[in-house]
Amino acid sequence: MAEVSTKQDINALSEWFLTQIQATPVPLDHLLGTIQGLVQQGKVSVAREWVELLRETVYTRADASALQRVLEMGASIATNPRSYRTNCRQWLGTLLADWLHTGLLDSASFESDLPPEECLRRFRVLMGLKEGAFCRDKTWGFGIVRRVDDFYKKVAIDFSRKSAHTMTFAYAAEVLHLVGPDHLLARKHNQAEDLKVLARDQADEVVRIALRSYGPLTVVQLQELISGEGIDAGDWKGFWDRARKALKKDDLVEVPTKRSEPLRILETRRAYDDAWYATFQKERDPKTILELVVELEKSGTSGDASAASRTTLGERLAFAIRGAEDRTPELAARLLMAADRLGLGDTGVDMVGAASTLATSDRLLTCMGLPARDVDGFLKLLERLLPDASARLILLLPRLPVHAAHVVIDALRALGKAEPVAAMVRADLASRSVSAEVLDYLCEHHALITEWNLGSLSDMLQQIVNALEVPGSGQRYHTQKALRERFESRAWLEAVLSKLHARERSQLLARIRQSRGWDESSRRSLMGRLIKLFPDLEVIVARAEKTDEAKTGHLTSWRSYRERQEQLRIIVEVSIPENSKEIGHARSYGDLRENFEYQAAKDAQRLLMRRQAELERDLNEIHGTDFAGITVDCAGIGTGVKLQRPNGDVELYWILGEWDRDAALNIISNKSAVALRLEGATPGTELAVPGDAEGKLSRVLEVLPLIDAVRAWARGAVPA
């Protein structure tokens, strides 16, 4: 109906309404549609009065079916739902006073606290439960009414999942939905073969039937419905592709761009006329403004807009951009792109100003969370509007999530900005501070290592292993996961590692063997893939495992071993005999229960025996060595490690055995916290070492063989 805006319009429409309700028969559909229009315009009090007039008319004429429809219209706008619910029961009961209908009314919960519209819905369901009627239930599926027992107030239904299922009227009213002859389920029951042919030849019509049967549905819900009800649509992807292509040409079907939004059938074709623009001009929600603009673009009528309408579009988009740029920059970016597509830069939208605001660091970072297609379009727009857009994006690269980093780098390369990106990556690789996200991009485009002169592919792979060792959460965790997935790809490993020299592959394998970037199972699987691709690595692994076996044995220097032997000798040959003499001497004092000297001597004896047992066990389990023959491919027992701390200080540690320590020579035990953290590290490895500030990493500069002074100390000689 046309919008009613003045009291004069209301009076004229009221006269028309009073004339119509006197007609025989009453034009019920037209009158109810008019009342619904009043409700939509916010004129609820007028609509409520007209419902009452119409109710009195159909009640006086004893038209129970019309009365039920009028009551349903008035249920949602009743001022007192409780009183309205009671009146509905009374009005319907007066016209439907026979045994069956009284039982149906009693089962529709009019005496409960349910909303009146729900009670009326239940009554409509019960009225439709006649022998042979179609219905559906969430649990049992499609059903056909077999029998209605008005005495016991029960109904028997043959469901697709259970035949002859009995329900009380009350329960049936609550859970059942009536199914008309045009419903999708009814057509499947009556015309299964025809529906199959329709799905093959007119997939879009099957979707329309589903939407008319169930209301708005997302694509996922539509697929679940058609598959769940056993409707033969063939291959779903092919079915949906055919349906979507045809539905997009139908002005009465709304097909959203997002899978999470529902398809729906429109009552009338939307007209983008002066009334639409007037409504649009009042809209204040930025998200809704964008949705309406996108809808207008899809209609293909935006190019026909008048100058005044274009001004309205520009003013609303400018308003929405200002409202969104602080709280939801990604929405503001999409609004700005819409303004650009519609060419509204001359209608009040400050394109350059909005772009400059959105290109600030944190806002720009948020905008990079848009879908890849939108990110690409937004970057091209920024490049057109802002002279320094590329520089801002390059500075932002280390902070981007992995998918956005790929999109941004691709976009910058397409815009001819590859060299500034390459310069930044070269600097970060040289300082070993390149982000994991950029490393992932280089994994996918490893030809750029040579093209951008980024150094060696081997060094980049070593830096990836380093990046996987730093504990990560959030964005970093997802990037590390993406990097690990690269190493799980046989094709990627073969393509990348085939470009390395045999020595470089060996170094990478050694680094992976010692890395904490994988759990033990994943690391072994990765090493297995590497050996299958490059069998020569198996010899290197076997040799390394043999060295590991020597390194991980319980070893100490001969110096420390002999010192422990001497400690044992003194206990056995000196301390224990002396203690035995003390015990004998203490016994001579008489009563042992109150003899302090005897108790002290016995306590000392227990301690000496315990210490003797400990030393004997240690000397049996730990072996002396001079650390000869141990390779120095990575840090561990029998090696020296030159370490650069985060503050620039360089420290040198000599890692010997379990009992070895000497501050003057910087000798540390292989069981010390520093040695355990350094174990397996190779030159260039960056890792957190005890003593580093939180979040800071030290860097291994060299792994060295033992010098003569340390070897002499290990043998027991006194250093010169």
Spatial distance between the Cα atoms of 115 and 100, rounded to a whole number of angstroms: 24
> Coil, helix or strand for 387?
coil
**β-strands 667-669, 650-656: how paired?**
parallel
Percent of the chain with pLDDT over 70: 94
Tokens of 514: 């010692």
Is residue 263 a contact partner of residue 253, using CB atoms and an 8 Å limit?
Answer: yes
Res 547: pLDDT: 55
Is residue 99 a contact partner of residue 150, using CB atoms and an 8 Å limit?
Answer: yes
Res 306: pLDDT: 84
Q: Distance from first CA to last CA of the chain, Å, rounded?
A: 108
Is residue 70 a contact partner of residue 59, using CB atoms and an 8 Å limit?
Answer: no
pLDDT at 3 over 60: no
In which band, very low, low, confident or very high, does the pLDDT at 452 lie, cut at 50, 70 and 90? confident
State residue 601 phi and psi, 5-degree precision: -65, -40
pLDDT at 720 over 50: no
Cβ count near 76 (within 10 Å): 12
Dihedral (Cα; 298, 304, 307, 312), 10-degree rounding: -20
Closest CA to 153 of 106, 202, 207, 91: 106
* Residues ≥6 apart with Cβ < 8 Å to 550: 629, 630
Res 668: pLDDT: 93
Closest CA to 505 of 530, 475, 479, 539: 530
Cis peptide before 25 (omega within 30 of 0): yes
Q: Which range, of 39-48, 127-136, 589-598, 608-617, averages the lowest pLDDT?
A: 589-598
Q: What is the pLDDT of residues 465-499, one digit of tens each?
A: 888 877 666 777 788 888 888 888 888 888 888 88
Dihedral (Cα; 698, 702, 708, 710), 10-degree rounding: 20
Res 655: pLDDT: 93
Tell me the angle at which helices 457-469 and 418-430 cross, rounded to the nearest 10 degrees.
70
pLDDT at 546 over 70: no
Burial 642-679 (b: 16+ CB within 10 A, else e): ebbbbeeeeeebbbbbbbbebeebebbbbebebbebbb
* Residues ≥6 apart with Cβ < 8 Å to 600: 586
pLDDT at 94 over 90: yes
Res 594: pLDDT: 55
pLDDT at 326 over 50: yes
pLDDT at 270 over 80: no
Domains belonging to the chain, first-starting first, are 184-265 (1.10.10), 270-387 (no CATH), 511-552 (no CATH), 555-624 (1.10.287.180), 639-715 (3.10.50)
Of 629 and 549, more confident = 629
Tokens of 199: 């799905």
Q: Which range, of 73-82, 238-247, 689-698, averages the lowest pLDDT?
A: 689-698
CA-based Rg of the chain, rounded to a whole angstrom? 42
Res 179: pLDDT: 93
Q: What is the mean pLDDT of residues 579-589?
A: 78
pLDDT at 66 over 60: yes
In which band, very low, low, confident or very high, does the pLDDT at 217 lie, cut at 50, 70 and 90? very high
Spatial distance between the Cα atoms of 515 and 511, rounded to a whole number of angstroms: 6
Tell if the pTM clears 0.75, that is, is over it: no
**β-strands 134-137, 141-149: how paired?**
antiparallel
Mean pLDDT of the chain: 85
Most confident range, picked from 105-109, 190-194, 242-246, 551-555? 105-109
> Coil, helix or strand for 2?
coil
Spatial distance between the Cα atoms of 333 and 382, rounded to a whole number of angstroms: 10
pLDDT at 638 over 60: yes
Spatial distance between the Cα atoms of 392 and 517, rounded to a whole number of angstroms: 32
Q: How far is CA 240 from CA 148, 182, 199, 222, 698, in A?
A: 40, 21, 10, 10, 56
Q: What is the pLDDT of residues 421-439, one digit of tens each?
A: 888 888 877 777 778 888 8
pLDDT at 6 over 60: no
In which band, very low, low, confident or very high, does the pLDDT at 378 lie, cut at 50, 70 and 90? confident
User: What is the amino acid identity at position 29?
Assistant: D
Question: What order of strands is seen across the sheet that includes strand 165-168?
Answer: 165-168, 154-159, 141-149, 134-137, 177-179
Q: What is the pLDDT of residues 510-520, one digit of tens each?
A: 778 777 778 87
Per-residue HEC secondary structure of 163-177 comes to CCEEEEHHHHHHHCE
For residue 252, give the DSSP letter: T
pLDDT at 276 over 90: no
Burial 178-213 (b: 16+ CB within 10 A, else e): bbeeebbbbbbbeeeeebbebbeeebbebbbbbbeb
In which band, very low, low, confident or very high, does the pLDDT at 40 lie, cut at 50, 70 and 90? confident
Spatial distance between the Cα atoms of 717 and 177, rounded to a whole number of angstroms: 96
Res 7: pLDDT: 57
Closest CA to 440 of 417, 472, 415: 472
Res 717: pLDDT: 66
Q: How far is CA 348 from CA 187, 317, 342, 359, in A?
A: 54, 9, 13, 20
Tokens of 253: 């079907």
pLDDT at 254 over 50: yes
Res 593: pLDDT: 53
Spatial distance between the Cα atoms of 635 and 627, rounded to a whole number of angstroms: 14
In which band, very low, low, confident or very high, does the pLDDT at 2 lie, cut at 50, 70 and 90? very low
**What's the residue count for the chain?**
720
**β-strands 555-557, 623-625: how paired?**
parallel
Q: Which range, of 10-19, 131-140, 300-309, averages the lowest pLDDT?
A: 300-309
pLDDT at 1 over 60: no
Cβ count near 456 (within 10 Å): 15
Q: What is the pLDDT of residues 333-367, one digit of tens each?
A: 999 998 898 888 777 788 888 888 888 878 888 88
Tell me the angle at which helices 475-488 and 457-469 cross, rounded to the nearest 10 degrees.
130
Spatial distance between the Cα atoms of 662 and 49, rounded to a whole number of angstroms: 100
The two counts, helices (H) then strands (E), for the chain are 36, 14
Is residue 276 a contact partner of residue 299, using CB atoms and an 8 Å limit?
Answer: no
Q: What is the mean pLDDT of residues 634-655?
A: 91
Q: What is the mean pLDDT of residues 556-585?
A: 89
